[in-house]
Amino acid sequence: MLSAQRSAVTAALAAAALLLATGCSSDDDGGDPGDGKSAESRSAETGAAPSGDAAEAPPEKGSAEVTKTLATDLKSPWGLAPLPGGDLLVSSRDEGTITRIDGESGKKTEVGTVPGVAPAGEGGLMGLALSPTYASDHQVYAYFTTDSDNRIARMLYDEKKPSGRQLGAPDTVFKGIPKGVIHNGGRIAFGPDKMLYAGTGEKGETDLAQDKKSLGGKILRLTPDGEPAPGNPFADSPVYSYGHRNVQGLDWDEDKRLWASEFGQDTWDELNEIKAGDNYGWPEVEGKGKGDDGGGGFHAPVAQWKTSEASPSGVAYAQGSVWMAGLRGQRLWRIPVRGVGGEPKTEAFLTEKHGRLRTVVAAGGDKLWLVTSETDSRGTPKKGDDKILEVRVK
C-alpha cells in the first residue's frame, strides 16, 4: 500500500489560482456556467479511431430522449450506483451523504453519512461502486476527499436496518491519492475482471501526471482489498495508465475495452481508449497533438471536443456507443465505437435542455440514468434541481 501523500493547502490554492488566471476553462465543472453555450453543436473534431471491430455496427444516426424524471431536489449529486432490483444509490459531493432512490417512484431515503469527508472546491464524496460480489457481501465502495488526501473506502450496506443507520463504518482500502482544490478525479468502477479502477487528477500540479511513482493523473487498477492488481503494467504499482489531467468517466464495452473521459485545459477535452501502461500525454499534449502516434510515445484520444462543448464527466456504454455527460457543454454526447473502423462521428443530444450533466450510467437495454449538476458551486439551480433522468437512446 502506498503511503498517504499530503499536500499543503496554500500550494493547492496557488495552483488553482494560476490555472484560473491562465484561462483554465475545464477544471472539473467548466468554470463560469454561462460560458460557451452554443445553440447546437456541430460534430466534434476527432482523434485516432478505436482499435478492434465487432460484427454489428451502430445505427448511422443516434437519438436520446428523456422519458422520465425519476428524482428531483437532490443536493450536489455525483456518484450513482444501480442496486439489484432497480433502485439507485446516489452520493452528495458536498453533504457527504448517500441516498437510496426508488427506481419506480423516485422516493428518496438517506441511508447514511460517510464520516471523514471534507468537501471543498472539487473535492468531497464522489464516485460510488458496488462490490462485484455485492449479492453476498453487500459492500458499497466510495471515493472521497479527506483533510489529507483522496481515498477509497468500503462500507457494509445493511438494507434491513432502520432508515438513516444502514451504512456501516468505512473501511479504507486505499489512500494517499493527491488532493487539491481542483482535479481530484473521483470516478470508480469494477471492471469485467472484477478489479477496481479509479480515475484520479493531478490536483493542478501537472508534473504529477508523468510521474509513475505518483498516484495523481492516473487510472489505478486495484484488487477489491485495495492492493495493486495482478497483471498491472508496472511492478508492485496500482498505476494502470498515466499522463492524465483529470479522469472523470470510466466504462467498458462488450469487447472489454475500457473507455475514459478526461478534462482538457483550454483547448481539447478527450475520450480515450485505455491500454495498460500507456501514456496519454498530459501535460505535453492536450487532445491529439505532436507526439501522438509519431514516435512521441503518447496515446492519442479517440475523440476530442472544445472545452466549451464538453467538460466531460461520466461515461456509459450502451447500444454500441459511449455516452458522455457534459458539464459546461450541457449536453449528452454519443460516440459510436462498435464496429467503427474510422474516426467516430460524434453527436450531441439534450443540448442546454437540462443544464449541466454530471453522471451517466447504463440502465439496461436502451436506457440510461442521467444525473444533472446545478446545485454545486458552478451551477445555476432552478426549481427541482438536481435531478435523475431516465433516457432512451439508440
Model confidence pLDDT, tens digit, residues 185-214: 999 999 999 999 999 999 999 999 999 999
User: How do residues 221-265 score in pLDDT, each as one tens digit?
Assistant: 999 999 999 999 999 999 999 999 999 999 999 999 999 999 999
* Residue 317 pLDDT: 98
Determine the pLDDT at residue 58: 56
What's the gap between Cα 226 and its chain centre? 19
Is residue 108 included in any domain, yes or no?
yes
Domain membership flag for residue 271: yes
Residue 389's contacts (CB-CB under 8 Å, 6 or more residues apart) are 66, 68, 69, 70, 354, 369, 370, 371, 372
Is 34 among the domain residues?
no
The verdict on residue 26 lying in a domain is: no
Cβ atoms 246, 288 nearer than 8 A: no
- So what's the pLDDT on residue 2? 39
Give a yes or no: residue 12 inside a domain. Answer: no
CATH code, domain with 112: 2.120.10.30
pLDDT at 163: 76
> How does pLDDT run across 111-142, given as a tens digit for each residue?
999 999 999 999 999 999 999 999 999 999 99
Helix (H, G, I), strand (E, B) or coil at 10: helix
3-class state of residue 276 by DSSP: coil
Domain for residue 317, yes or no? yes
Closest CA to 156 of 180, 138, 134: 138
Would residue 32 count as lying in a domain? no
CB burial readout 290-313, b (16+ within 10 A) else e: eebeeeeebbbbbbbbbbbbbbbb
183, pLDDT greater than 90? yes
Structure confidence at residue 27 (pLDDT): 56
Looking at the structure of the chain, the number of domains it has is: 1
In the structure grid, which three cell numbers stand for residue 308, read together?
A: 466549451
| pLDDT per position as a tens digit, 18-56 | 443 333 445 555 554 333 333 233 333 333 334 434 445
Per the model's pLDDT, the better-predicted residue between 45 and 16 turns out to be: 16
Q: What is the pLDDT of residue 17?
A: 41
**Higher pLDDT, residue 177 or 48:** 177
Structural domain boundaries enclosing 364: 46-282+296-393
- Residue 167 maps to a domain: yes
